[in-house]
């Protein structure tokens, strides 16, 4: 599950929180990967109250490199008995879920620490319905954002930041679109319509499109059993750079159409960019999480992960920027009997 792409929404919301005051204007990557569970995210000193600090403007983020299809490889087929975990979506099936995320970005520019940017916890309520299923199992789903909420309880974000994010999210509720899902359960893309409003709100919606287009958990076509492990490898690109992302999935148990898994994500820079503008010099990311799938549902019944990514880049061939991004994300089906974790 390329769940780290949900951070593109977080990066866009940070842009809303910054009130469009951005300096320098450099892309923020959407790939924040998790520290191990319980690891402290000690990121730089807290920002002054309600500081509208400069934020690197998010662009389209890390994206699959055209012509290079993701590869899925079984590392261990697991114990007997084994069986194929085949998604079985049906036309007309409907589901509801909530996606909650929080994010913190610490930035240094030419060795000078900028105020830490903290995104308050944001929750989006989603309604999804299957409108078409192909013979190979791929499907198209209608999507609606039914509600968007910002939670300021216990958040480190300043009150002004919470207010700006809440104002930006006001345009999100009621938006509709569609999600395309491949035969193995990995989503292929998403589109909301229309994308209108202030530029920072449009950025937020574009980030959500990218996130929703890449949150599926890949399932192998070969039979597997308890303890099975498989790896999805993807070549991602941004700023003429090449990044390899690996998602390792381990099967904890499977019963009654519910598949419980643990997730481990890693990202590494394979080739630095060569452009004359912003240049990505280094990137490392890691993440851990867990997810429970229902084979007859498009979205996870339950998923939770923590991410952390560190990167270095040069701006205009001279200025140096470093970013340390941490985030947490959770998906919970609100119409399911249980989340399959018991």
For position 40, what pLDDT does the model report?
Answer: 29
Best CA proximity match to 30, nearest among 162, 210, 175, 183 = 210
CB 282 within 8 A of CB 290: no
Q: Which residue has the higher pLDDT, 232 or 168?
A: 232
What does the alpha-carbon distance between residue 110 and residue 108 come to, in Å, rounded to a whole number? 7
**The pLDDT of residue 308:** 92
| 43 has a pLDDT exceeding 60 | no
CATH of domain 3-333: 2.30.230
pLDDT of residue 179: 87
| pLDDT tens for each residue of 301-322 | 999 999 899 989 888 767 899 9
For the stretch 110-140, pLDDT in tens is 999 998 888 778 888 999 999 999 998 889 9
Residue 2 has pLDDT above 60, yes or no: no
Model pTM above 0.85: no
Domain spans of the chain, in order of start? 3-333
| C-alpha dihedral sign at 158, 161, 165, 166 | positive
- What is the DSSP-derived secondary structure letter of residue 224? B
- Cβ neighbours of residue 150 closer than 8 Å, sequence gap 6 or more: 120, 121, 122, 123, 162, 165, 166, 169
Is residue 232's pLDDT more than 60? yes
Residue 108: the pLDDT is 95
CA 212 → CA 3, 60, 76, 128, 189, distances in Å? 9, 14, 29, 11, 7
For all residues of the chain together, what is the average pLDDT?
A: 75
Do 298 and 340 contact (CB within 8 A), yes or no?
Answer: no
Of 275 and 85, the structure prediction assigns the larger pLDDT to 85
């Amino acid at each position: 599950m390329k769940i780290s792409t949900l951070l593109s929404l977080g990066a866009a919301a940070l842009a809303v929180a910054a009130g469009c005051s951005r300096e320098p204007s450099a892309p923020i990557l959407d790939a924040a990967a998790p520290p191990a569970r319980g690891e402290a995210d000690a990121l730089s000193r807290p920002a002054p109250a309600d500081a509208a600090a400069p934020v690197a403007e998010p662009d389209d983020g890390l994206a699959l490199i055209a012509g290079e299809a993701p590869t899925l490889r079984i590392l261990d087929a697991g114990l007997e008995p084994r069986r194929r975990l085949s998604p079985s979506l049906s036309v007309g099936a409907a589901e509801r879920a909530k996606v909650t995320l929080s994010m913190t970005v610490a930035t240094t520019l030419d060795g000078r620490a900028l105020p830490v940017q903290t995104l308050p916890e944001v929750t989006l309520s989603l309604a999804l319905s299957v409108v078409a299923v192909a013979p190979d199992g791929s499907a198209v789903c209608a999507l609606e954002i039914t509600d968007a909420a910002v939670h300021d309880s216990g958040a480190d974000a300043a009150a002004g930041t919470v207010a700006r994010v809440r104002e930006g999210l006001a345009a999100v509720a009621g938006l509709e679109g569609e999600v395309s899902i491949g035969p193995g359960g990995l989503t292929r893309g998403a589109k909301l319509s229309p994308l209108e409003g202030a530029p920072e709100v449009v950025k937020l919606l574009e980030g959500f499109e990218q996130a929703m287009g890449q949150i599926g958990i890949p399932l192998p076509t070969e039979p597997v059993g308890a303890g099975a492990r498989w790896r999805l490898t993807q070549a991602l690109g941004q700023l003429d750079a090449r990044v390899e992302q690996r998602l390792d999935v381990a099967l904890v148990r499977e019963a009654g159409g519910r598949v419980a898994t643990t997730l481990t994500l890693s990202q590494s820079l394979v080739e630095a960019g060569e452009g004359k503008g912003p240049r990505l010099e280094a990137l490392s990311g890691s993440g851990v999480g867990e997810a429970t799938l229902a084979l007859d549902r498009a979205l996870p019944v339950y998923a939770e992960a923590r991410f952390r990514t560190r990167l270095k880049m040069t701006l205009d061939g001279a200025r140096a920027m470093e970013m340390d991004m941490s985030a947490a994300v959770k998906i919970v089906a609100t119409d399911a009997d249980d989340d399959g974790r018991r």
